[in-house]
A and B are shown apart, each in its own frame.
Chain A
């Protein structure tokens, strides 16, 4: 009799949410179809409706906080940049308001929203994918498709390396502080304190990389045998394959329709 925690490994890994439980590659495929539709459709209202749809989906999968945190920042940055850029490059006639003599026009705002919608429609899909898919699930799915486990390891380990390097920076800062070196204060002080830590940080990282590769070798990482997996995702059901195929067929048909609309009709 196994504990609930151990039993989870013997079963397929599921999250109890139909969208989250989609195979990562199916999910990526479906979201990419959604991401490219605003680009092909060139329809601003549709693009922003899609963004609202992403929010609904984020709430449905219980990842609203994560999605909203990143998407809001991306949306503000993109829209602000495009609004300013378009006001500088588009000559409009309908003046909305004026800032110190700089006239903001409706035409420029609409142009900014056109492009902004496409960018946000695309980036929303990608953010939603990462919000709903643990990286290790994506790597598992890729390994099943033939990606080498070395590639998979490098990608997964890179994320941990960032955390480890961050911890090393803090340790070196703390040890410098203990030696009386000023590391806090204004930006200039912080910058001056940062450069001397680069060499111990990089040398330490290189030395750890060597030891880590020995550690992986000790775990028979390079053995020429088919690997097994402790965590397994459920096999892709037929309905999911049909859904992905349907979405792709729809997308291709939509692209053809738009091309015909542009060049024939």
Chain B
């Protein structure tokens, strides 16, 4: 079922002549995990703002085309209800801290306070999310005194606690180490398994390859390629579209160019190993 539908959407930020998004058409289906990739300045964050309804509610500008969220035109949505429906974690972890709470525990509970969740439920939910993100040791700390990575986890936890149906996540791992990044992806995978719809902007292409159902490639404010992850990431034209291809798919193309093509172009290491072993077995 289509949750968000964009039809021929073009958007200009206020006082800017060139369009940030041009002729965007795509459908976000319920329960799927979408990865958005592409060059810097390609329109990924603007697309997130559009999917989250910040365009046109927060950023005024000029919007053409049709945007529907859960069957209702985006203009008809109340911004508060939209916030409860679609969770949004954005790039900069330093501005996602409210600045009015004295402990991380209270910071994470803030969204639930706004939603009017009863106190006992609120406490249980905050504890659950903190455990999920492994940030229980930060519970009593001042959120304004955390490092970038810690703030990023707290910001993520604050949105997760609100239990939205759809999550738009813009580079949630930019401040995290490899283990932290892996943990976040596993949590996102778990959210997907629980039926949530996830839209993720991320440069770590190997993780996109491993976890996403579909990939959208953005360049110059346009969607230049979209489809199932394996189909998009195995495409040889990916570098020309300003996106980085997974190393194993580059390897697959190189093998084909060397006259030793694999069964198909792999996008994850496990898949590549399997294909090579299969090819070696066939050669024997």
List residues of chain A with CB under 8 Å of any chain B CB: 2, 5-6, 9-10, 136, 153, 156-157, 160-161, 163-164, 208, 211-232
Contacts and interface: CB of A to CB of B under 8 A. Distances in A.
Contacts of B109: 230
Interface in B95-129: 95-100, 102, 105-106, 109-120, 122-123, 127
Chain B interface size range? 35 or more
B159 A212 contact: no
Given A5-B139, A208-B95, A223-B83, A232 B90 contact: no
A215 B112 CA distance: 14
Contacts of A215: 90, 95-98, 155
Contact of A230 (B80, B99, B113, B144): B113
A232 B106 CA distance: 12
Nearest to A149: B114
B177 interface: no
7 contacts: A10-B123, A208-B95, A212-B99, A218-B89, A219-B158, A221-B83, A221-B114
B78 interface: yes
B73 interface: no
Contact of B79 (A156, A164, A222, A232): A222
A157 B110 CA distance: 14
Contacts of B54: 214, 217
A228 B123 contact: no
Contact of B83 (A9, A10, A153, A219): A219
Interface of B: 52, 54, 58, 78-81, 83-84, 87-90, 92, 94-100, 102, 105-106, 109-120, 122-123, 127, 139-140, 144, 155, 158-159, 162
Contact of B119 (A219, A224, A229): A229
B81 A230 contact: no
B99 A223 contact: no
A214 B139 CA distance: 24
Nearest to B100: A156
Given A223-B81, A229-B119, 15 more contacts: A153-B98, A161-B99, A211-B96, A215-B90, A217-B83, A218-B87, A219-B158, A220-B80, A220-B115, A220-B162, A228-B118, A228-B119, A230-B112, A231-B106, A232-B119
Nearest to B127: A6
A136 to B, nearest CB: 7
